């Protein structure tokens, strides 16, 4: 057979797959409706495992892994579709945010970072020695917001600020690039509430995924399935406890967009822990 002839046959098979795929998505929509009514979880790992075992049992070893990958993928896109449909059917995204930036009269910062203070008079900045204290001042309403160096092009990310935001439920709502003696730094402003403005183009998230093969890959392919660009990723091991990692990710998108809401909804439901760390505008 010539290449042309084989390709013609592939085209025929692809058409058949397309018909069946559309039928399957109609069924996925029906599942989503039933589950939206009963408020049942979309992701059912046991059911997926049972489907894989049943279908792959009689498949030749030479294509078993490939077939398993295909079935997994079909169920992944089925879930993606269901998350989007569910959000249309019932407003169940449990993320609260405000749509106005806070007015900042008093700012809290680390003493040794005062030199990067953006747009505020240094006399009005309350300086302390660690981020826990910065956040404590905001909590006690002795400051309206905090500011700190989040990333430095020469030295990397600030683990302590990432950790403090994660552990204290604080959110970034501004990100400015500052040039300091040739070092480019990302300086963020953060506060007690998640602020989402229409002009924001970044969403910072942190998640922990199951410590098993393919978990991180499936989260990354999920992000890509939504057509969302991932602009930064790094991992940090947990302090103490079991050996596992937190993944910090910056996405290109805005929480007011339906697709981003569906992605967040899926991440909340399919990762071990998930948190939004901020929404902001970034020029880069
Ligand atoms: O059976 C279900 O509960 C479904 O939601 C359907 C389906 C599938 O597409 O086969 C999708 C998601 C679940 O994780 C399991 C299976």
Determine if ligand 1 sits within 6 Å of the CB of residue 266: no
**DSSP per-residue letters across 162-174:** HHHHHHHT-EEEE
- Residue 237 host element (H or E): strand 230-237
Query: Does 3-89 carry CATH code 3.50.50.60?
Result: no
- Residue closest via CA to ligand 1's atom 16 equals 48
Segment 224-274, tens digit of pLDDT: 999 999 999 999 988 767 778 899 999 999 999 999 999 999 999 999 999
The full set of domain ranges for the chain reads 3-89, 107-191, 202-280
Q: Quick one: DSSP state of residue 119? A: S
Which CATH fold would you assign to the domain 202-280?
Answer: Alpha-Beta Plaits (3.30.70)
Flag residues of the chain having pLDDT under 50. none
Determine if ligand 1 sits within 6 Å of the CB of residue 282: no
**Closest approach atom of ligand 1 to CA 24:** 9
Structure tokens at 28: 């996925």
Say whether 53 sits in a helix, a strand or coil.
helix
Determine if ligand 1 sits within 6 Å of the CB of residue 47: yes
3-state DSSP percent of the chain in helix, strand and coil, to 5: 45, 25, 30
Determine if ligand 1 sits within 6 Å of the CB of residue 86: no
- Residue closest via CA to ligand 1's atom 10 equals 75
Determine if ligand 1 sits within 6 Å of the CB of residue 79: yes
Determine if ligand 1 sits within 6 Å of the CB of residue 75: yes
Which CATH fold would you assign to the domain 107-191?
Answer: D-Maltodextrin-Binding Protein; domain 2 (3.40.190)
Instruction: Compute, in angstroms, the gap from residue 74 CA to the centroid of ligand 1.
Output: 10
> Which are the contacts of 108, defined by CB distance < 8 A and separation ≥ 6?
125, 126, 127, 128, 133, 134, 137, 138, 142, 143, 145, 146, 147
pLDDT of residue 240: 66
């Amino acid at each position: 057979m010539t290449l042309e002839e084989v390709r013609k046959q592939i085209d025929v098979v692809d058409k058949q797959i397309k018909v069946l795929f559309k039928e399957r998505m109609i069924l996925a929509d029906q599942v989503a409706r039933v589950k939206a009514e009963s408020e049942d979880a979309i992701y059912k790992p046991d059911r997926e495992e049972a489907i894989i075992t049943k279908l792959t049992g009689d498949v030749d070893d030479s294509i078993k892994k490939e077939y398993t990958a295909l079935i997994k993928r079909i169920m992944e896109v089925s879930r993606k579709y269901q998350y989007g449909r569910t959000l249309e059917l019932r407003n169940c995204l449990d993320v609260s945010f405000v749509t106005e930036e806070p007015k900042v009269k008093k700012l809290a910062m680390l003493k040794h970072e005062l030199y990067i203070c953006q747009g505020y008079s240094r006399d009005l900045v309350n300086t302390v020695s660690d981020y826990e204290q910065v956040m404590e001042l905001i909590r006690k309403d002795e400051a309206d917001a905090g500011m700190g160096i989040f990333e430095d092009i020469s030295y990397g990310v600030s683990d302590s600020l990432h950790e403090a935001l994660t552990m204290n439920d604080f959110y970034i709502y501004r990100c400015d690039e500052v040039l300091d003696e040739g070092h480019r730094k990302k300086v963020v402003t953060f506060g007690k509430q998640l602020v989402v403005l229409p002009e924001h183009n970044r969403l910072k998230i942190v998640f922990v995924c199951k410590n098993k093969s393919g978990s991180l890959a499936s989260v990354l392919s999920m992000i890509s399935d939504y057509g969302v660009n991932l602009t930064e990723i790094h991992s940090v091991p947990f302090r103490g406890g079991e050996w596992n990692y937190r993944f910090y990710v910056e996405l290109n998108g805005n929480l007011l967009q339906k697709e981003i809401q569906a992605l967040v909804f899926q991440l909340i439901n399919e990762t071990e822990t998930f948190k939004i760390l901020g929404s902001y505008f970034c020029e880069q």
